[in-house]
Chain A
Amino acid sequence: MTSDRQTETEPSAYRATPARRALAFIRNTWRGLTSMRTALILLFLLALAAMPGAMLPQRSLNEPKVREYIAEHGWWGELLDDLGFFAVYGSVWFAAIYLLLMISLVGCLAPRSVEYFRSMRAKPVLTPRNLSRLPHHATGTVAGDADDVFAAARSRLKGWRTTERDEGDGYKSISAEKGYLRETGNLLFHFAMLGLIIAFAVGKMVTYEGQVIVHADGSEFCNSGIYAYDSFNPGLRVDGTELTPFCVRVNDFEPTYTDIGQPIEYRADIEYSSGDDLATNTWRPYQLEVNEPLRTAGDRVYLLGHGFAPVFTVTFPNGEKRTKATQWRPADQTTLLSDGATKFDPPGITDSEQRRDKQLAVTGLFAPTPVFNGKILSSAGPRLTDPAVAVDIMRGDLGIDSGYGQSIFSIDQSQVEKGALERVARENLRVGESITLEDGTEVSFDGVRRWVSLQVSHDPTQVWVLGFAVAMLVGLALSLLVKRRRVWVRVAPAADVEGGGRTVVEVGGLARTDQAGYGDEFDEIAADLLNQDTRSP
């Protein structure tokens, strides 16, 4: 306002040149952005923007569910998809909010840090003239020489930052201040948060995560490239060419359950080889459990899940046998009722046309503890007790050679719809039982193996994140629990007492932050300085 009026009356004093206007615009934007009001609004926006991630399915967590949601909600689902609501934390608007918040934070912290260093060198403020106006106040006359009382007050305020002043007329005062750690903690918290966000962001660049299913029968997995994984989520700057080499061999997996089938313990008996051990082919044993990842070569290997791989043997009419144990996926996590498809190529046929007519797939359900409701198979629990399968045998062209990738857990339904793949038998089987097809092919269910799903995680920055998080906690505790407070003491020889030797002491106190509870501490200090008994009414 003032400057406006000035421009009107004295046009020569301030000329709004484009450069100045731009400067003013930048300055005002900066001030607006770094004000607490803006920071608060940005905080709310951040909170609001993060919520859809909890309410809507997210690509990073559950891709099939996202597709299902979009399919169910039509144009609304597609709109949400276009606006990035299924990948909230990677969306432009989310990034915009936290980047603005970070700028706001830096803009707030920079001047505060300067102020902080200045105040660390500053002396406590002058003693107010009238101490009785302070929220905490006490006065009294005590025995003793003014200098002695002053010295006693000085030693009582040890640990406080103090300055002493001679105010003339025999008046002397001490200004004392304490609780500087509050601001230290506050700055520490905010800087550590900044560091944490940066470490988190760097982590998103260099981290990778891969999942792989390994049969628990001595099979090996090596972290040698993306191809070794079933799924792989690289960070933005990971191309998968420089993975840390190590290998894991899964020898056994044994879950423990309560009587009602509640899991108590999952344990995989593994061996691993990393670093120099790789060259010498040395394997070290490890018990991989749910909360006990294997940490080796800077990476971590986790036990994520487990399941079954039913073993089927197909005896072809010409007498040749093929045995396969393909992993089936648990459809129900409590009873481990699993589904899947075990696919076979007929042997001895070199002509691809012919071979494609005779491919076989054993597909259906597997129950570790089977319950039959009529002919319908379900599972009563996750334990392996006389397991059974309910399978369809499909024959024809599986579509494996079509060039399209297909799920290891299922057959390509479009082949069935096309009529290229036909069901030739449907049966429930227990271990040892078999089906004979009309052409003499025999499919037998021989048993079951277990598999475990492992995850390899690589994130060299997480140690930094942890460090910053701890620093944040320390800073937070300091800034919320330490009180910034001041106390002033003024002494003067009592004028009206004959012979001297009496001193008037006045104490005033003020808590600089709105923390209650300073009263007690002040009362103690005042009582010590006034010796209580000589306190004036």
Chain B
Amino acid sequence: MPVDETLSRFSDWSYNTATLIYVLAMVFFAVEQAFGRAGRLRAERTAAPRRELVGAAASGPSDPASLTPTSNASGASATPPLTPAARRSTSRAARFGRMGVSLTVLAALLHLAALVLRGLATSRVPWGNMYEYMMAVCLIAVVTWLVVLRKYPSVRHLSAFVLLPVVVLLFIGGTMLYATAAPVQPALQSYWLIVHVAAAIVSSGMFLVPGVASVLYLMRAAHESNSSRFAKLAGHLPGRQVLDRVSYRTTVLAFPIYTFGVVCGAIWAEAAWGRFWGWDPKETVAFVAWVVYAAYLHARATAGWRGKPAAWINVTGFALIVFNLFFINLVTAGLHSYAGVG
């Protein structure tokens, strides 16, 4: 299996360009976040708890419909009237936000091109080492966020917070973990590489979004209980409900995919290593992260555990995913040592 070095070089260029454009988009979003009055007003509006009289049957958190796109649109008309000057600055900041989205889409396309070219260069799926894995995870994270933006346009000015970890990961991937395009070792030559690793990538990438949203939730909550904390930042964040909902809905989609990934991993391990589960460090931490996300889903349905505790659990879950990626791949010696680093 020869490696096409031209394609591999093009892939590297796309990767670097995409990273740079993400940085630029991040700046644009930061402008919107900092100067957009719309963001702050929206934050105030959504922060006010909406009480719904639903009768005896209402047991869960309050009505989800108030946060769906349709009601956002209708809610916009209820925004308090702005002075002309304020409206101008709002629209200018919003323009930055929209440009940021366009840039993000452009960068995501280049990002995708980098991944596809890498796959074409090596004639295999482009997730055979840690560099490629990180590239794919970041792409999924960005795509997930773009989907979230379609559903909840009101959180657009938060994009910088999502792009920040993406850019950091891409930078680490491109500098410290970079591996030249090469075929994979025999242990990885299996169709399970496609299924198992793809599921791991998709779920990990998706988990980044609730991880970030939960951090923002905690900042917002801290700000609400003491307005001097995160005063500059949290005042511009949307209400806790919105952040909680973004976290929950993304986690609920990512969790079954993650479970599927773990099950596929077990099936592959049975074929490659002689047992479906052997408490290899990677397996162990994957199991721990699974338990933590399961706890998140339960916590969110348990009185006294909603809100802040649940957000902490979600952040812990994502921290474990990152830990599993870096620490286990690079520090401990286990069977999953395919980083291709060093």
Partner-B contacts on A (CB < 8 A): 36-37, 39-40, 43-44, 46-47, 50-51, 53-55, 58, 60-61, 88-89, 125, 128, 130, 133-136, 200, 209, 258, 262-266, 289-293, 300, 302, 304, 455, 457, 459, 462, 465-466, 469-470, 472-473, 476-477, 480-481, 486, 510-520, 523
Contacts and interface: CB of A to CB of B under 8 A. Distances in A.
A20 to B, nearest CB: 30
Q: Which size bracket describes the interface of B in this complex?
A: 35 or more
B275 interface: yes
Contact of B279 (A43, A89, A513): A89
A265 B273 contact: no
A510 B58 contact: yes
B64 interface: yes
Nearest to A265: B186
B318 to A, nearest CB: 14
Interface of B: 1, 52-55, 57-61, 63-65, 67-68, 70-71, 182-183, 185-187, 189-190, 192, 245, 248-249, 252-253, 255-256, 259-260, 263, 266-268, 270-282, 284-285, 287-288, 291-292, 294-295, 297-302, 304-305, 328, 332, 334
Contacts of B271: 291-293
A300 B297 CA distance: 38
Contacts of A469: 263, 266
Given A54-B332, A200-B277, A473-B256, A512 B57 contact: yes
Nearest to B248: A514
A516 to B, nearest CB: 4
Given A40-B299, A518-B65, A60 B186 contact: no
Nearest to A300: B274
Given A304-B274, A510-B57, A517-B68, A290 B279 contact: no
A516 B245 contact: yes
B68 A516 contact: yes
A258 B184 CA distance: 10
Nearest to B56: A128
A457 B270 CA distance: 10
Contacts of A54: 281-282, 284-285, 288, 328, 332
B281 A515 contact: no
A514 B291 contact: no
Contacts of B189: 265, 290-291
A50 B284 contact: yes
Contacts, number: 169
Nearest 3 Cβ contacts at the A-B interface:
A516-B64, A135-B63, A514-B60
A32 B70 CA distance: 43
Nearest to B287: A50
Given A40-B295, A51-B288, A125 B57 contact: yes
A55 B291 CA distance: 17
Contacts of B292: 43-44, 47
B190 A291 contact: yes
Given A50-B287, A61-B280, A291-B187, A264 B54 contact: no
B123 to A, nearest CB: 12
Nearest to B289: A47
B185 A263 contact: yes
Given A510-B54, A516-B64, A58 B295 contact: no
Given A291-B187, A520-B68, 20 more contacts: A36-B301, A40-B302, A43-B291, A47-B292, A50-B284, A50-B287, A54-B281, A54-B282, A54-B288, A58-B279, A134-B55, A262-B183, A266-B186, A466-B276, A472-B259, A480-B256, A481-B252, A516-B249, A519-B68, A519-B71
A514 B299 CA distance: 13
A226 B298 CA distance: 46
Contacts of B263: 469-470, 472-473
Nearest to A290: B186
Contacts of A47: 288, 291-292, 295
B128 to A, nearest CB: 11
A263 B186 contact: yes
A514 B64 contact: yes
A465 B276 contact: yes
A51 B328 CA distance: 12
A209 B268 CA distance: 17
Nearest to B266: A469
Given A46-B291, A50-B284, A302-B273, A60 B279 contact: yes
23 contacts: A43-B298, A44-B292, A47-B291, A53-B281, A54-B281, A54-B284, A54-B328, A58-B279, A60-B279, A125-B57, A130-B55, A135-B63, A262-B182, A265-B189, A266-B186, A290-B186, A465-B266, A480-B255, A512-B57, A516-B65, A518-B65, A519-B65, A523-B70
